[in-house]
Amino acid sequence: MRIADRRLHWLLGLACAVLFAAGSGALRSFAEPGERIENPHGRFIEECSHCHSPNTWKIARMSAAFDHSAYGFDLKGAHASAACTACHRSLDFSSAQTQCASCHTDVHHGEMGTDCGRCHGARSFVDRGPMIRLHQLTKLPLSGSHAAIDCESCHKGRSAGQMQFVGTQAECRNCHMPQYQSARTPDHVASQFPLECQTCHSALGWTPARFNHDAAGFPLTGAHRAAACTDCHANGRYAGTPHECIACHQLDYDGATPNHAAAQFAPSACTSCHNTSYFKPSTFDHAARGFALTGAHATTPCSSCHGDGVYAGKPTACIACHQTDYDGATPNHVAAGFVASACASCHGTATWAGATFNHDGLWFPIYSGRHRATWTDCQTCHTNPNRYADFTCLSCHPHDNKSVTDGHHTGQSGYSYTSAACYRCHPRGTTN
């Protein structure tokens, strides 16, 4: 006989002795031969040793030998560690119900039906995993911080201690109206912000707000993207704020150099010179106005040409700015008969000095053809240094050859032995 069995046998013997000493009434607690015995656990038939120990009868424990699933309810998760009396309120185990509501109070008050398993699992009654997965099928899928808050934060019942699930509104304002009304930077109520909170806020976090300015008709680019809201909305006005540059940059316009008002710069045309990356220096497209800034012109201050404050209608001829250069030039441009409107014939925008007159292309080939390398300097042909319109061919073609030259031109209409006549018939210096 095992020790446990001997111990149980000894305890039963001791119990009998005690009852015998107590009298015949106590002995009636045991059934007489042939008398029916009532099972305190109802129709629950299991070996006593599956739950009871010889060490003590009252403190029950469920051994591994007992298969609870054989009775239609498998013990998993938190159920496996729960005390028997948590579900079995009486000793009649066969009467225990298997519906969740038999043990768990329905905090939803019937709103969610009787299938608790849709949202709850045996691992924990408040296991958020199944709840969130099911919530994704509703009109408000949980994301960001919404997935971590308590159900009671949004599902507040009509009465204290209750929660409402069916018919709960999904608009932000239903939960966040206090935040909307208490916001001061900026004041949402005074600024007449719409109640569509998602325009600026997201489920990732209530702050900081991220307003999609691009969708409001004024994309934020360049320095505008880093500007504080109050730089443009200083008066608390957001809806209907004008988009024109001058609405924010009036002071910049008024104090600009050159004087924009005097120069008749249109306040509505700021973008002609300025961009959002930086307000100054300006980036005026001079080429679009018919005068491209190239060479030295590209780095010349505006005041060099517009010192008189005139911008609109300014003449683009070189002489308008270079009259002094023309008047003091060497050789004397006026005496030489250089046309004041033809500066570009000799000068470029890279530098004013070092003129490169195209003698071959404009007048007479001296760098090519038969006259190449036949002259020393300008005075070889232009005997009057103050008048370059005067020239001579006869310094190289002397008078003693006149008879020969005359013979070559016998019968030639308009012939005369003069430099002007030579050039008239031989403009390219050839003998044709």
Same domain, 335 and 414: yes
Q: How many domains does the chain have?
A: 5
| Domain-located, residue 164 | no
Q: Which two tokens stand for residue 219?
A: 């994309």
Does 160 map to a domain? no
The last residue of one of the domains, among 98, 125, 142, is 98
Within this chain, do residues 400 and 330 fall inside the same structural domain, yes or no?
A: yes
Query: So what's the pLDDT on residue 19?
Result: 39
The predicted structure's pLDDT at residue 284? 83
Of the residues 213, 243, 273, the one at which a domain ends: 243
In a shared domain, residues 421 and 323: yes
**Can you point out the beta strands (E) in 164-270?**
none
What was the pLDDT predicted at 272?
A: 87
Angle, CA of 218, 222 and 224, to the nearest 5°: 55
Report d(CA 296, CA 349) in Å as an integer.
6
pLDDT for residue 31: 47
Q: Is 93:44 a contact under the CB 8 Å cutoff?
A: yes
Do 92 and 110 fall within a single domain?
no
**Residues near 110 by Cβ (< 8 Å), separated by ≥ 6?**
none
Q: pLDDT at position 36, please? A: 57
Q: Quote the domain boundaries for residue 38.
A: 3-98
Instruction: Note whether 336 and 378 are within 8 A (CB).
Output: no
Q: For residue 161, is it within any domain?
A: no
Q: Indicate if the alpha-carbon torsion angle 357, 360, 365, 368 is positive or negative.
A: positive
> How many CA atoms lie less than 13 Å away from 292 in the CB half-sphere?
5
Is 130 found in the same domain as 63?
no
Nearest by Cα to 31 from 22, 41, 39? 39
φ and ψ at residue 417, rounded to 5 degrees:
-85, 70
pLDDT at 45: 76
In terms of domains, do 416 and 333 share one? yes
Q: Which residue has the tokens 């768990």?
A: 104
In this structure, what DSSP letter does residue 270 have? G
408 located within any domain = yes
Q: Do 64 and 149 share a structural domain?
A: no
Q: Do 84 and 59 reside in the same domain of the chain? A: yes
The answer to the question of residue 416 being in a domain is yes
In a domain, 166, yes or no: no
- Residue 49 to residues 23, 57, 59, 62, 141: CA-CA distances in angstroms? 30, 10, 12, 9, 51
Distance, in Å, from the CA atom of 424 to the CA atom of 427, rounded to the nearest integer, reads: 6
Judgement on whether residues 8 and 106 belong to the same structural domain of the protein:
no
User: How far is residue 283's CA from residue 274's CA, in Å, rounded to a whole number?
Assistant: 6
CB of 278 within 8 A of CB of 223? yes
What pTM, to 2 d.p., does this model score?
0.47
In eight-state DSSP terms, residue 205 is B
Residue 189 and residue 180 in contact, taking contact as beta carbons nearer than 8 Å: yes
Residues 89 and 123 reside in one and the same domain: no
Amino acid code (one letter) for 56: T
Q: What is the pLDDT of residue 15?
A: 44
Q: Please tell me the predicted confidence (pLDDT) of residue 275.
A: 92
Is 276 part of a structural domain of the chain? yes
Instruction: Answer yes or no: is 431 within a domain.
Output: no
Based on the domain organization, do 41 and 89 belong to the same domain? yes
3-state secondary structure of 350: coil
Q: What residues of the chain score a pLDDT lower than 50?
A: 1-31
Q: What is the DSSP letter of 279?
A: S
413, 419, 424, 428: CA torsion to nearest 10 = 130
Instruction: Using DSSP, state whether 202 is helix, strand or coil.
Output: strand
pLDDT of residue 268: 93
